[in-house]
Structures are given as structure tokens and as C-alpha cells.
Amino acid sequence: MNMLRCVSATLLLSLSPPLLASEASPTAPEIYVSPIHAGCYIVAPNQCRIHVDPFTINLAVGKKLVYFKLVAGPSFGVLYDFRPDLSNPPPSSGSTYTPSLVTQDFAATCGNSYYVSLQGQDTGDPNGYNLGVTGTFTCPSVVP
């Protein structure tokens, strides 16, 4: 009986199609980012802002930026969605891009908790990736 099990297992293994490299392990992203840092401060009673520090996006050599997004969670949504010019996407040279954000401070609800996620894609990646995320922080609810 044991010999029959061994033969049938060997037969099943020999008839199974081999795994393709893409099936064996997911492709590693070709886009990375410097650490993402963000926090929240109070501007006036019932007026808070999420502040995001500058960051640098690192792309694989010869690749171009497709997009990046700053997303506030858990359910706040997209803070900033950047799409480059299709005919001349960054970086113009080298393999890093440091965006000059239109703003670094985004409206938030005082007393609520958030995290900030940086998502992006370059021309070497089939999909976008979550490139970095902060820990959860809570906006102040009382003016000091």
C-alpha cells in the first residue's frame, strides 16, 4: 500500500506542469522611496492640517515615473495625485525624483487619527505599489 502511494505521488509530480518564474515569486518593485514622514497640527479651533515632509522617489535606471499618490487613511482618501507629462516624464536624468509638492499641508479633521501612505509606479513595474507608510497619528483637538 505504501509503495502504491509513493508511485502515485511520483506520477502526479511528474505530470504536473513546471512553475513559471513569474508564478513562483512575485516581481520585486523597481521603484522605491525615501522614508515618508507626516504628522498633524492645529491651526485654529476646529482647523487641523496634515503635514508631509519632502521625500525622494528612487526609480530603476532608465525608468520613468508613471504616478505617485499621497493617501490618508484609514478612510480619508487621496490627498495628492501626481501624473507627469506623458511625453517627458521625470526624472530628466539620473534615477531619482524629488517632487515639489503644490502643498505639503492638507486639511484634516481635528481629533481624528490618520496614517499617510505613498503609492507609486514607474515604467518598469506592471502595477502601482505602496512605497511607504507612516504610523497612525492623531490630530490635536484642543488649541494649546
Reply yes or no on whether the pLDDT at 19 is more than 50: no
Provide mean pLDDT across the span 114-133: 94
Residue 117 maps to a domain: yes
Residue 73 maps to a domain: yes
- State the pLDDT at residue 25: 42
Count of structural domains within the chain: 1
Three-state DSSP class for residue 34 = coil
pLDDT tens-digit series, residues 71-83? 999 888 999 999 9
Residue 13 maps to a domain: no
Residue 118 sits in which domain range?
27-138
Model pTM? Answer: 0.75
Residue (of 129, 128, 124) closest to 30 by Cα position: 124
Residue (of 127, 38, 31, 128) closest to 76 by Cα position: 38
Separate counts of helices (H) and strands (E) for the chain:
2, 11
Q: What is the pLDDT of the chain when averaged over all its residues?
A: 82
Q: Sorting pLDDT into bands at 50, 70 and 90, what band is 55?
A: very high
Contact at 8 Å (CB) between 115 and 134?
A: yes
pLDDT tens-digit series, residues 125-142? 999 999 999 999 999 998
Provide mean pLDDT across the span 88-97: 88
CATH code: domain of residue 120: 2.60.40
Task: Give the integer Cα–Cα distance in Å for 22 and 25.
Answer: 6
Residue 116 maps to a domain: yes
Residue 61 maps to a domain: yes
